[in-house]
Amino acid sequence: MIPQTNPKAAYLAQREAIDAAIRRVLETGWYIQGEEVAAFERDFAAYTGSVHAVACASGTDALILALRGLGIGPGDAVITVSHTAVATVAAIELAGATPVLVDTDEHWTMAPAALEAVLKAWPSGVPKAKAVIPVHLYGQPAAMDEISAIAERHGLILLEDNAQAHGATLQGRMVGRWGKAAAYSLYPTKNLGAIGDGGIITTDDAGVAETLRALREYGWRERYISALAGMNSRLDPLQAAILRVKLTALPADTERRRAIAARYTAGLAGLPGLGLPKIRANAAPVYHLYVVDAGARRDELQARLKTAGVGTLIHYPVPVHLQPAYLGKIALGPGGLPNTERAAKSVLSLPLFPQLPDADVDTVIGAVKAAWAA
């Protein structure tokens, strides 16, 4: 079976350095925060070109902390997409704010026109919009030029959900560098993954960074004195040490992801009715996922690939606004979310991780062609 993703392969690729990093932390006797976490934050800030990076326990927490750190909470609405990991929307609710969900465009990311439309016809009874969270889904940059212009015109804070797009660029500018802050997940299968949970927030604003550092640890600015009502969301030093090793491989891993994507695109071109990723002009995606649009044949294609020994996943099978926990709670844009609802029925993620050999990519291409012709 060729798996859709394989975090163990990433461990094995750097086994000696990761084992040594783990042993180093074990020997220090320092198991919460400390120099290892600070060093990872410096490394990640340097990688992204950000002034500050603040690590925390997960990507979901990174979003919650970022929202709180930007002063967003009860009485505020936050606009995002429904075609995303549920964490994006969960974080808005957990920060006490009200999510408002808009539709996606042909790149599977926030449609600027849908954002504009919902702001023009703001749903009644919903608090005033204070922020917008575009999601760089699948490693594809959202339309940040248009979205940031709309945000600016409407006085909205721009927070990027960069959980799937570490290092992607639009117009030569990294995603995560367009907004006031960006939240990253370091979940094992993400482009930069820990061996467990992790998250990090980047910002150039020293005041926001200082608030985030307090919020992640009981609101402390000074030990044992809670200046703010905070939480406990710390990145383990063990994970920080592992992530410092993994970060050294990220540029090469990203190039490998792009090479695999290019091989899929060349190998699968021209199959009638099979949609391949549409790349935005001037975008350099990082292919967290390679997602095809199989239309009404999606479930059949997935089943045939499984029989052929090819693992696939669906990101995501149910849009957030149709999930049991969120049904009816969330205000929608006018006209519903047709692209989002269509995506849930038609998308399929093919195997993609940096250690996937070309021979396996070719096997997948052959299996997709055979299944499509059947």
Ligand X SMILES: *Cc1c(COP(=O)(O)O)cnc(C)c1O
Kindly list the residues in this chain that would bind ligand X in the complex (CB under 6 A): 58-60, 84-85, 87-88, 135, 161, 163-164, 185, 187, 197, 199
**CB of 60 vs ligand X, minimal distance in Å:** 3
Q: Is the dihedral of CA 319, 288, 176, 58 positive or negative?
A: positive
Report, in Å, the least distance between residue 80 CB and ligand X: 10
Residue with tokens 């029989």: 307
| CB of residue 164 to ligand X, shortest distance in Å | 5
Residue 187 or residue 290: which is nearer to ligand X going by CB? 187
Least separation in angstroms between residue 163's CB and ligand X is 3
Nearest to 374 by CA among 131, 264, 366, 189: 366
CB of 131 or CB of 368, closer to ligand X: 131
Rounded CA separation 262/268 (Å): 10
Select 58 or 211, whichever has its Cβ closest to ligand X.
58
Record the tokens describing residue 373, joined without a space: 């012709």
| Residue number of the CB atom closest to ligand X | 59
CB nearer ligand X, residue 163 or residue 241: 163
The H or E element that residue 368 is part of is helix 358-373
The residue among 188 and 333 lying less far from ligand X, judged by its C-beta, is 188
Contacts of 211 (CB under 8 A, 6+ apart): 68, 69, 228
Q: How far is the CB of 69 from ligand X (least distance, A)?
A: 16
The answer to whether 122 and 98 are in contact (CB under 8 A) is: no
102 or 371, CB closer to ligand X? Answer: 102
Nearer to ligand X, 40 or 372 (CB): 40
**What is the distance between the alpha carbons of residues 348 and 340, in angstroms, rounded to a whole number?**
14
CB of 66 to ligand X, least distance (A): 11
Beta-sheet strands, E only, within the chain: 52-56, 77-81, 98-102, 129-132, 157-161, 169-170, 173-174, 181-185, 199-203, 220-222, 225-226, 283-284, 290-293, 331-332, 347-350
Min dist. Cβ of residue 319 to ligand X (A): 13
* Nearest Cα to Cα of residue 163 among 62, 70, 40, 80: 62
What is the tally of helices (H) and strands (E) in the chain? Answer: 12, 15
